Structure formats: structure tokens, C-alpha cells
């Protein structure tokens, strides 16, 4: 067994059609393009989405929606996540750097603390925004809230 013995499996390969190589080949003349018309000529390309003159899908469907250029998007983090982080790392202050080290956010994210879950530890939380319920829950256990 060596490299000269290796061949593809029987029937797995075939020769490509040699189009436009004379009448004797059976693929000469019009070179499988039929007679006349734009499609038979070089340089023909159909528009993307063209459906033979029928109204194309992208024009049949209505336009909708709006993207506000002033939208501010926050990365949401719940109180339950803060509680777990405080217990695992034994933290009393959770700020943006602590969340980055834990892998919850990256440098570019803005953080909003949401009130899902419960907080047991007294924690100082630093974030860009807080929901009313989250702020109330943090203050209820004696923690503090710092808005950036």
C-alpha cells in the first residue's frame, strides 16, 4: 500500500462537461445555452430577487419598524446573580470591575441591576442604572447604591 495505489471509490468521480469544444463533442454550437435571448449571451446576470417579472418578495412585503439612534442598551444583571457572586468571591462591594472579572460583562457594556431574586448580604453595588425594585431591595438589607 502506497500513494500510487490510492484511487477514488468507483462511481464517486465523473468527468466535467467540456462545453463549447466543437460539434463533435455534442456540446458545441449554442454550448447548452439554447437559442438567442439575453440568457444565451455573455455578460448576462439576473437581478438578485428577480422572479421572472412577478412582483418580488421584497416588494410584496411591507416595510415596518424603526431603530432609534438614541437607544441606550444595558446588560441586565439580577439581584440573585449579585448574591451568588458575593457568596462565591466573599465580596462586600460589587462594581463594574468585579462583574468584568466574573465574566458577566465586557468593557463596552452598560450595566442595569434588576430586582429578580433576593439579596441577603449587605453589599455596596456600583452600576449605570437600577430598577426601582432592585434599588429598594439593596437598601432594605443595609447596602448602598452608586450610580455611575
Q: What is the pTM of this model?
A: 0.59
Fold observed for domain 74-147: Ribosomal Protein L15; Chain: K; domain 2 (3.100.10)
pLDDT in tens, the chain (148 residues): 789 999 999 999 999 999 999 999 999 999 999 999 999 999 999 999 999 999 999 999 999 999 999 999 999 999 999 999 999 999 899 999 999 999 999 999 999 999 999 999 899 999 999 999 999 999 999 999 999 9
Check residue 16 and give its pLDDT: 93
- The pLDDT value given to residue 1: 79
- Residue ranges covered by each domain of the chain: 74-147
Residues 6+ apart with CB under 8 A from 133: 114, 115
Q: In terms of Cα–Cα distance, which of 71, 85, 75 is closest to 120?
A: 85
The pLDDT value recorded for residue 99 is 94
Rg for the chain (alpha carbons), in Å?
A: 33
**Facing residues of 144 across strands?**
124
Amino acid at each position: 500500500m502506497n500513494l500510487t495505489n490510492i484511487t477514488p471509490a468507483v462511481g464517486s468521480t465523473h468527468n466535467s462537461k467540456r462545453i463549447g469544444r466543437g460539434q463533435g463533442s455534442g456540446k458545441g454550437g449554442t454550448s447548452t445555452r439554447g437559442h438567442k435571448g439575453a440568457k444565451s449571451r455573455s455578460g448576462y446576470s439576473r437581478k438578485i430577487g428577480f422572479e421572472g417579472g412577478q412582483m418580488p418578495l421584497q416588494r410584496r412585503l411591507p416595510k415596518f419598524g424603526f431603530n432609534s439612534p438614541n437607544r441606550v442598551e444595558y446588560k441586565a444583571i439580577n439581584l440573585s446573580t449579585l448574591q451568588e457572586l458575593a457568596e462565591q468571591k466573599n465580596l462586600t462591594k460589587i462594581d463594574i470591575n468585579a462583574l468584568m472579572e466574573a465574566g458577566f460583562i465586557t468593557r463596552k457594556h452598560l450595566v442595569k441591576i434588576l430586582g429578580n431574586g433576593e439579596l441577603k448580604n449587605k453589599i455596596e453595588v456600583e452600576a449605570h442604572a437600577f430598577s426601582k425594585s432592585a434599588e429598594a431591595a439593596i437598601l432594605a438589607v443595609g447596602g448602598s447604591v452608586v450610580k455611575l
